[in-house]
Structure 1
């Protein structure tokens, strides 16, 4: 019996960088999170949640974890009273912002 591979990604996944990028960014809220975080140096969890109307706590948490896993955001735990966490985009994510600006402008044309 053949061993199954770790992930069952289609063959084109390895060959196409666009497919890989969309897999990372393709969640409903991920681009919105990146867009909001790019406007500020850092944001606290509840502040970010207020800026993303309609997102649930679970979805925000999962999206932040996925973005952190792909090194697009950082999670900074501050040891204060009361303790809190701040999120910010990474340098890797900042390199994505020009593409998002273009998508933003394109989206304005599609009305």
Structure 2
């Protein structure tokens, strides 16, 4: 899929296209879960961490930094004691998360078919 922005063509299939890292941030396990977790509204770091079971503090921090750099997540530090930091989706992040949510829902709804396909594959003994 090609798009023109400021006379630059972006093509995710091209090796050097800058859209590749962003696509990786969005579609990677932790990025997609962070975007999905923030869809319902702003969350503090630890609230988001509790929502995304299994993510480490370090990985969540790295994920949020990458998504913030890509313009998908907004970080707002409150001048309180102790400091409070809220994370929310930007308009671009919201649009991205909505499209991602449709994919997540499809996968969840089709899991019985996926599990059956995995069972059949595993029964064949191929690797």
TM-score interval, smaller chain = 0.7 to 0.9
Is it true that 1:50 corresponds to 2:50 in the alignment? yes
RMSD: 2.4
Task: Report what 1:74 is aligned to.
Answer: 74
Cα distance change of structure 1 residues 30 and 43 upon mapping to structure 2, 3 Å threshold: same
Runs of 4+ in 1 over 2 A off after TM superposition: 19-24
User: Runs of 5+ in structure 2 lacking a partner?
Assistant: 1-11, 113-127
Matches within 5 A, 1:63-102: 63-102=63-102
Residue 55 of structure 2 aligns to a residue whose secondary structure is coil
Cα distance change of structure 1 residues 24 and 53 upon mapping to structure 2, 3 Å threshold: closer
Based on CA coordinates, which of the two structures has the bigger radius of gyration? 2
What's the offset of the Cα at 1:49?
0.6
* Distance in 2 of aligned mates of 1:97 and 1:27: 13
Task: Report what 2:106 is aligned to.
Answer: 106
Task: Report what 1:23 is aligned to.
Answer: 24
What's the offset of the Cα at 1:94?
1.4
Say whether the 8 Å CA contact 2:76–2:86 is kept in structure 1.
yes
Structure with the larger RCO, 1 or 2 (CA within 8 Å, 6+ apart)? 1
User: Runs of 5+ in structure 1 lacking a partner?
Assistant: 1-9
More strand by share: 2
* Distance in 2 of aligned mates of 1:13 and 1:24: 16
Task: Report what 2:35 is aligned to.
Answer: 34
* Distance in 2 of aligned mates of 1:96 and 1:65: 17
Say whether the 8 Å CA contact 1:27–1:63 is kept in structure 2.
no
C-alpha offsets along residues 45-94 of structure 1, whole Å, 9 cap, x if unaligned?
A: 11111111110011000000000010000100000122110000000111
